[in-house]
Amino acid sequence: MADPFLDAHRVLPGLHLIGFPVAPISIRDQMLRGRLIIDRALEVGLISPGQKEPVLIVGAGAGGATAAIRAAQRGLTTLLVELAPAPFSIQARAPTRWVDPTQYDFPTNHWRESRMPWRSPTMPLRWHADYAHHLAAAWTVQLNRNLRAYRKLWAVFGIQITGITPTGSFGAPFSVSFSRNVPFKGPFWFILWAAGFGEETCTVKGPTNVYRGFPFWSTDPYGLPNLGLGSNTSSKVLIAGGGDGALQDFLRITTGYQSAKDLYDHCNIPEEVRKEIQEEIYSAEDQARRAGSWSAHTRHDHDVQMQLQAAHVTAVTKALNQPDVEKALAKLLKGGASEVKLVYRCEHFTNYYGLNRFLVLLVAHYIAKRDNIRVVDVLMPQKSVEDVRPAAHAASHTCGAPLGCHGIDHEVDLRSEPFCWKTGSSTGISSTIPANVVVIRYGVDRRTSTLPLPTPLRPLLQLSRPQHLLPYYLPA
């Protein structure tokens, strides 16, 4: 009997992906995938507790570690391998990034829980909202505890998969080559690839310069007073990108808040207006997710996103009509940057999370009203960054590490972009913006994520259904 979840992640019989190129890729979503794929594989008999051959799980992030622990709990001999020298390395290097397992389910009934799981069943890894590096430390303790508890669970770090070769007619069993020795050499009848979303695009390679911004998962100065520029420097910030990372940093930089939930709670939206707004947003988000799950190409996505953006703008207008909201925003923005612009490539944002979308639109519309400027002077649609170079009076500066460029005056060339669904290139330089803080959030370059499969099998990396509508939790 076919299983739709397994089918959505299968590359070859016995080889499944929960990393690239699936979406969404939040930490919570990957943990759900990690547990669910083991349980479903057991249900249909792809794996069984009595088998001698180990399950191979590649990648010791939240999804891979969840899958490995779950496999051990179900009685499977399991080998977890990781390229980095330690598990959860992405979160471990991000002490300034706040993560919350439920706040982006706004405005569902459980969005304030800030813990996972908040109801049954239990999950192999538990967590509460916290800074990313604290979560990495807590998860490492939990993983080590499970490594001691389950003799069939093995973990090897600092190791690379150099090749995966099907030895059957079209799939399992697989011969796997490693960069060094491992406890089990295979063959492997079930491989779960939980690594390799790709490389984050936080660099602009322009015609005159190469500019490198702070990666999303890194230590950045955006939570410091005046972004760490000192009291005598006016911050001029340009953020490039329309996805979740760009929107998160827009809110952090304009308000100083790390948690979107806390920011929302301090906007002082009256209860009756809040209830009305949340009902409207819930309806719009539900419709968008249902429609988006059946999108066949970017034109479909564009139409869905445009309707969703319009619904959020309507909600923002209702909120800003409340005097208490304007007063609250005036206080909230006092600790933020002096000037912020967000440039993105289409008329709409592309993020998956309604809370960030609503708050960014709310803050931007308030800034426009406060400063008597147009909203498009804050949120600049159909623009992309062509070049980032030191300003003329800072010509002696050489761009290198992100921290070295932070606070230095730069000039940012912007190109006009067509709608996201239209073919063709951008239409040339439209403007040049001065900025001393430049944030590049152009997402993940998934072309850099490749399984070490033989060349004839590389085209199979295109999954039949990469866009998923995942549950909020797994039923018991």
- Could you write out the three-class secondary structure of the chain? CCCHHHHHHEEECCEEECCCCCECCCHHHHHHHHHHHHHHHHHHCCCCCCCCCCEEEECCCHHHHHHHHHHHHCCCCEEEEECCCCCCHHHHCCCCCEECCCHHHCCCCCCCCCEECCCCCCCCCCEECEEHHHHHHHHHHHHHHHHHHCCCEEEEECCCEEEEEECCCCCCCEEEEECCCCCCCCCECCEEECCCCCEECCEEECCCCEEECCCCCCCCCCCCHHHHCCCCCCCEEEEECCCHHHHHHHHHHHHCCCCHHHHHHCCCCCHHHHHHHHHHHHHHHHHHHHHHCCCCCHHHHHHHHHHHHHHHHHHHHHHHCCHHHHHHHHHHHHHCCCEEEEECCCCCCCCCCHHHHHHHHHHHHHHHHHHCCCHHHCEECCEEEEEEEECHHHCCCCCCCHHHHCCCCEEEEEEECCCCCCCCCCCCEEEEEEECEEEECCCEEHHHCCCCCCHHHHHHHCCCCCECCCCCCCCC
- The reply to whether 466 falls in a domain is no
- The reply to whether 333 falls in a domain is yes
- The reply to whether 471 falls in a domain is no
Residues 225 and 325 in one domain: yes
Please state at what angle helix 132-149 crosses helix 62-73, rounded to 10 degrees. Answer: 20
CATH classification of the domain holding 123? 3.50.50.60
Residues 206 and 103 in one domain: no
Give the Cα separation of 401 and 405 in Å (integer).
7
What b/e sequence results for 107-131 when a residue is b if at least 16 CB atoms lie within 10 Å of its CB, and e otherwise?
bbeebbbbebbeeeeebbbebebbb
pLDDT at 350: 86
Residue with tokens 């406890």: 183
Distances (CA, A) of 189 to 11, 57, 166, 205, 315: 14, 12, 10, 43, 52
User: The domain containing residue 37 runs over which residues?
Assistant: 4-198+447-461
pLDDT at 466: 73
Q: Please provide residue 161's backbone torsions phi and psi, each rounded to the nearest 5 degrees.
A: -85, 120
Residues 273 and 379 in one domain: yes
Residue pair 112/102 in contact (Cβ under 8 Å)? The answer is: yes
Residues 28 and 115 in one domain: yes
Residues 387 and 311 in one domain: yes
Residues 136 and 190 in one domain: yes
Residues 207 and 162 in one domain: no
pLDDT at 448: 54
The pLDDT averaged over each successive group of 10 residues in the chain (476 residues) is 87 88 86 96 94 94 97 97 96 96 95 93 94 98 98 96 89 93 91 85 94 95 92 94 95 95 97 97 93 80 92 97 96 87 94 92 97 96 95 93 96 91 69 96 74 74 74 82
- The reply to whether 474 falls in a domain is no
What is the amino acid identity at position 325?
Answer: V
Residues 191 and 207 in one domain: no
Give the Cα separation of 192 and 428 in Å (integer).
44
Residues 69 and 40 in one domain: yes
Residues 236 and 377 in one domain: yes
Supply the pTM of this predicted model: 0.94
Residues 91 and 134 in one domain: yes
Residues 431 and 415 in one domain: yes
Give the tokens for residue 308.
Answer: 């969703």
Residues forming a β-bridge with 141: none
Q: How many domains does the chain have?
A: 2
- The reply to whether 409 falls in a domain is yes
- The reply to whether 476 falls in a domain is no
Length of the chain: 476
Distances (CA, A) of 383 to 342, 424, 430, 434: 9, 14, 8, 15
- The reply to whether 469 falls in a domain is no
pLDDT at 260: 97
CB-based contacts of 92: which residues, under 8 Å, 6+ apart? Answer: 86, 132, 133, 136, 137
- The reply to whether 472 falls in a domain is no
pLDDT at 338: 83
